[in-house]
Structure formats: C-alpha cells, structure tokens
C-alpha cells in the first residue's frame, strides 16, 4: 500500500497571491468615495461604522447603529484562519467628494477605482508607499488590500483589479495595482467579507449545485440587506489557504473518527485509487459554538461533507442531507446516515457515512459499507 499523500498534495497552502501565503498581517485600506447625486454616507451609517467595520474588536450581537458595533473584517479573518491571518489598519480615507456620477459615462470599475485611488495618492501617498515592503517600486496583490465603498444606489458589490496608477513621494516612485473589493452603504457584512476574501484567492461557490447557501462565505447573499449575518469559510478554502490541517484517513476499510472545531478538527477521506485527485472533507459546524463569534448565521448543528476534485474547475461541492444533494445546505446531524458516496465518474465508493453525537460539542463519524 502506498503512503498517504501529503496535505500539500491535497492542496494545503496552495492558494497564494504573488507567491505569498495569507499568513500574518496584511495591510488593508478602506476608501469612501462619495458622489453628490446619491445619499451621503452619513445618512446611512455614521462614519465611525467604517472604522469599526474594518478594525474593531466587537462582542456579539453585532449592530450597525445604537450602539455602533458592527462585525469586524480584521477579526472575522483572524477567527477563520485560526489566528494565522488578519488585516492591519492602513487607514480610512474619505469621504472623497467625486462630483456627479453618470452611468452613461462610467469607464468601468477598473478605471473608476484607479481614478479614486489616484485621488487617495494625491491626498496621502504614504498609504501606498509604506506598503511596498520588498522595495521594488510596485505595490501588488500580496502587499495591500483595498475596500472601496461608493455611495451609488443599487451598485452591486464586486472584486476587481484597478488599472495601474503611478504614485510619487519624496523618496519613492512606483505603481500600484491591487485587488479592490467594491461595496456600498447598504452592502451587508457577509458580502463585504466575501468580496474582500477574493483578494486572498477565494472562489465563488454559489454557482455549484444548489449554491451552498449559508454554508460558506463563498455562497451568495443579499446585496443590500444592510445586516450583520456572518458565516465562516468552508473547510476546503481553509485547507488551500493554509489555515487548517484536516486529519487524513483512508476511505477503505471501515473507520471512525471524532470531528470537532479547530485547525485540525476536520477529517479528510481518501482512496488509494484516486489518491489526492479526488477526496472527501468532513467538518464540524454549528451556529451556537461557544468559541466562535462569526458562525451565527450557520443553518444547523452537525457536520458538512465536501466532495473535492482537484484541477476540475470549481470542483468542490457539499453533499447535502438527506440525499447527498450537490451544493445542498442540509446539515448532517447526529443519528443520520448517508446513502453510498460516489466518485465523480459515477462509480460507488462502497462507503456510507454515519454521524453520532459525543461529548464536548464534537461529532463521531463512521465510514463503512
């Protein structure tokens, strides 16, 4: 029998920006761009909201007004990464007055964000100059992240790369081209964090099967809910970002393992015939975890079963309860048993999963035929 593939072969730590893993702190700049023909930012939220949204350390329940206590992007990613990654404050710039917005003359998000970042550079060039850690006269994807709020009514949030801009200071001259997460005053926390996570290399999962709704940050969400719904990234994203180390077990013969929260709480089931090309991930999830603040919108209490095909487009899908529905949001709870799992080519694994509850919030998972 061959040795177990390494976690790196299963994809651990393979998602990077410019060759750099999402570990430690990464600078985050928040910019408010305000157009005169739309409601001003402070008519929706106090300007303090944006400071706390980026870099606060709130206790739940989260709220946007009375008191101003929104969920925190910095702390959301710190919790998701098991303390391995967070955003460092660069600054909150704005509201920058941009005059009248006309959709007919809109040059597109890449050029529009470049124009706004050029305004930031004219006001505070140090925001970019200080980000050039390798001193190559270029600030890139791994050195700075940007969230750009624009007060355009019904603008859809998105993540784009700005057209390169030139920045000059007394001792530095170079270019800036980064991922820009776009949002508006009514964009909910879930969607802001979703777009910002794309700056780290995450992929959308709302376009697979039934959409994985509320199972992962990378599913879809209301663009204008203006709420504080929160849910973690899925275990596959945490694996490929290098934020978790699922414990590998062979699918055959029979086995059993405890599944719990934490960096090494999930399990990975692999088969000798597929090796690291195709496998299953099982993670423990719940909305009422005593140790997690950012899972409050998770829709259940149990385990999730993810089927992963490496190198096949968006080859990751949750197999939802009770029928292994691709992309389904049904959580597998204690006392439930799956039908036989199948590989992507339709061949049966010969294995089904049984879930039972045990002490201290963990779940016992058994796989057999």
pLDDT, tens only, 139-198: 999 999 999 999 999 889 999 999 999 999 888 899 999 999 999 999 999 999 999 999
pLDDT, tens only, 210-254: 999 999 999 999 999 999 999 999 999 999 999 999 999 999 889
Residue-level pLDDT at 170: 83
Its pTM stands at 0.96
Residue-level pLDDT at 2: 63
Mention every residue, 6+ apart, whose C-beta is less than 8 A from residue 309. 277, 278, 315, 316, 344
pLDDT band at 1 (very low <50, low <70, confident <90, very high): very low
* Residues β-bridged to residue 364: 258, 356
Pair 237, 218: CB distance under 8 Å: yes
Pair 125, 169: CB distance under 8 Å: yes
Of 292, 300, 315, 327, the closest CA to residue 236 belongs to 315
For 254, half-sphere exposure in the C-beta direction (CA atoms, 13 angstrom radius) is 4
Higher pLDDT, 283 or 359: 283
Pair 318, 212: CB distance under 8 Å: yes
What share of the chain in percent tops pLDDT 70?
Answer: 99
Mention every residue, 6+ apart, whose C-beta is less than 8 A from residue 340. 348, 349, 350, 351, 352, 369
* Residues β-bridged to residue 309: 278
pLDDT, tens only, 184-210: 999 999 999 999 999 999 999 999 899
Q: In the predicted model, is pLDDT for residue 313 greater than 80? A: no
CB-based burial of residue 353 (10 Å sphere; 0-12 exposed, 13-18 middle, 19+ buried)?
Answer: buried
Q: In the predicted model, is pLDDT for residue 314 greater than 80? A: no
């Amino acid at each position: 029998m061959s040795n177990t593939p390494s976690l790196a072969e299963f994809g651990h730590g393979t998602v990077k920006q410019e060759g750099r893993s999402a570990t430690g702190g990464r600078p985050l700049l928040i910019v408010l761009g305000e157009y005169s023909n739309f409601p001003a930012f402070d008519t929706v939220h106090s300007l303090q909201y944006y400071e706390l949204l980026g870099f606060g350390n709130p206790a739940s329940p989260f709220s946007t007004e009375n008191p101003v206590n929104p969920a925190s992007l910095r702390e959301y990613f710190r919790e998701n990464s098991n303390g391995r990654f967070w955003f460092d404050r660069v600054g909150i710039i704005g509201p920058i007055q941009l005059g009248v917005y006309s959709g007919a003359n809109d040059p597109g998000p890449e050029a529009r964000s470049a124009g706004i970042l050029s305004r930031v550079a004219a006001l505070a060039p140090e925001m970019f100059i200080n980000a050039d850690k390798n001193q190559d006269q270029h600030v890139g994807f791994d050195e700075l992240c940007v969230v750009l709020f624009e007060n355009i009514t019904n603008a859809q949030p998105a993540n784009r790369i700005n057209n390169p801009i030139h920045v000059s200071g007394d001792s530095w001259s170079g270019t800036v081209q980064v991922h820009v997460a776009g949002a508006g005053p009514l964009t909910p926390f879930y969607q802001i964090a979703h777009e910002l996570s794309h700056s780290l290399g995450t992929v959308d999962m709302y376009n697979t099967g039934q959409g994985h709704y509320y199972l992962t940050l990378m599913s879809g969400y209301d663009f204008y809910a203006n709420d504080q719904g929160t849910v973690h990234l899925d275990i596959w994203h945490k694996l490929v970002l290098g934020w978790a180390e699922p414990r590998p077990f062979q699918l055959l013969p029979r086995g059993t393992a405890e599944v719990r929260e934490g960096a090494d709480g999930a399990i990975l089931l692999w088969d000798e015939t597929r090796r690291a090309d195709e496998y299953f991930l099982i993670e423990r999830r719940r909305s009422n975890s005593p140790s997690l603040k950012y899972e409050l919108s998770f829709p259940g209490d149990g385990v999730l079963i993810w089927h992963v095909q490496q190198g096949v487009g968006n080859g990751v899908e949750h197999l939802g309860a009770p029928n292994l529905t691709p992309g389904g949001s049904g959580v597998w709870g204690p006392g439930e048993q799956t039908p036989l799992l199948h590989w992507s080519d339709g061949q049966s694994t010969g294995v089904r999963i049984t879930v039972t509850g045990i002490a201290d919030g963990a779940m016992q998972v058994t796989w057999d035929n």
